[in-house]
Structure 1
Amino acid sequence: MARAKALTPAERSDIAKRAAVNRWNKDLPAAIYTGEIEIGDARLSCAVLENGIRVLTQSDMMRALGRSRQAKGRGFYDADVNLPAFLTAKNLKPFIPNELYVTSSQIEFRLPSGQKAFGYRAEMLPQVCEVYLKARDADGLTHNQEHIARQADILMRGLATVGIVALVDEATGYQRDRAADALAKILEKFIAKELQPWVPTFPDMFYEELFRLRGLDFPRETVKRPQYFGHLTNDIIYERLAPGIKDELRNTTPKLPSGRRKHHMHRKLTPEMGHPKLREHLASVTTIMRLSSNYEEFKRNLDKIHPRYGDTIPMDFGDKGL
């Protein structure tokens, strides 16, 4: 009471306004994970909301696109209420896909501090980059927009729709709590139906162990692997999975002029029988890998537990024989 009496009318009014703002903000979706990601020279604040939506803050989205002006409030034009200001230029309209009108709506959310913030869905960033790059390719940009296209080009080298989601989840720590197949489900939306079985098949641990057993460092920055790994995979997996399966997969998976297969052979396996058996075999093989000190020991163990179809299993009768 003594403190309240000591406050001036202006101070009491300010406290009341802040309390009212906090009450209003409680109705907004809360950011349950927050963090920062680095893309090129830009540091972007990001968050995962309690409804599962990943967002980049409005001001950082502008900065990532090379816009010097800070976003202020709802920067929309009356002509396109669902588009932010950096997409409302008339020359960009022919290059804006319909789905961007949905994902580009501004999102208000509540920070852990209780403050209100403005942002956009994280997957909108590569979509906006695509708009500027398509406009550039069609010679449809103004001189003042060319620097944004250059920035978009840089961003797209390290971004994809799935990639930005993964970056946000990693930066915020959300990847520890999300469903194990969350990224695979997102990826499924962007690949052909007949190639979907590729999504969850070969785990990273399989290749980590294969690199270790071959005495090689596992390259976390690239998916490239030594070309002879294909021959090892044929031996370790397909020649031991089922009788005749390697030859059948080879016959149904065409080769490119370079000599490489057009698709990974396991994409041709049926989801009803082939893929469950493949995943089961992979899990067993990976366990054998982890229990082996080197490739020679691994092959001995593998030949005992999963011999190639058509091979004679070596029998150990000890010193006495039969």
Structure 2
Amino acid sequence: MSDSERGGGREDSPLKKAASKGGKARARSMSPEERAEIARAAAERRWENHTPKGGKPLKATHAGILKVHELELPCYVLEDGRRVLSRSSMIATLGMSKGSSVAEGGDRLVNFLAGERIKPYVSENLNSMSSQTIRFRAPHGGPVALGCEATILADICDAVLEARRNGSLQKQQQHIAVQAEVLVRAFARVGIVALVDEATGYQAERERDELQRILEVYIAKGLLPWARRFPDDFFKQLFRLYNWPIRDDNKRPHPVAHFIKEYIYGRLPAGVLAELERRNPPAENGRRKHKHHQFLTVDTGHPHLDRQITTVSTLLAVSSDMTEFKRLLDRAQPAAGTPMDTALRKVGPQE
């Protein structure tokens, strides 16, 4: 049978060589961002086919970082209300090796719990839940992630510690028991604090205290003198993307104020913009008596505002349209209070 009869010819056939050269030439002509986007899409397609049962991945509505002792675990709340932890981070937190591939890494948990040293201490419920890999996407998008229900981490720790008490663990598994003990103790401390806060109603008070601390750092006690804070290049790039003509009298369309509110002040820590608008309300003519930045502190508020203006100006300059700008900004600096923002920063930085 010829090579062509076996299914498409030899790999070094003239046709495939031409296709390969064409693909490489096309790749060279792309920008780094375009190549990254194609790679990301290809990775997502591979993940879509990773689980035989398929099905559309769930979407996470909230994301954050669970800090336990000195450990940090990415955690999510899915659209169906389930709380999940990243499967790979759970494996790493317990001190387990990931396996030789992504697919094997996902099963590392199952293999460990099925081991003869641990299996006698694994409940039927834990065995069932640990074998269920949850496929989901983070709130900000990206490739499909693999997760486990968060509650099983404590159950795994209990099983490991029970195995250690009975002398069942191998020498190379002892470090996993050490990690399990650290986690269990941390869970106990965090759990009792949360229970007390909930029982006493302090949880809501704690959130108010946190907001107050942010406002004290960002909002000045008195009105500061006006000073120019938005450079000409900021408006030049903004007008370019909106195709607005630059007027000699420097008057700006009303939407400029809305843009500054959303993409400059709206990216400061949650609660700051609301306090600025409370202190600096619009007059009857719709205009504000002062500039918002006159209410920000010199040592924290102004430096953060300046960094935000610089970031937005830079992204405006490298964007070809507003859609691209918004996508880049959402990736670089999520809006305050969004799940992605909460995951990246606990506090943080219109004219």
TM-score computed with the length of structure 2 as normaliser? 0.40
TM-score computed with the length of structure 1 as normaliser? 0.43
More helix by share: 2
Q: Greater RCO between the two (CA within 8 Å, min separation 6)?
A: 2
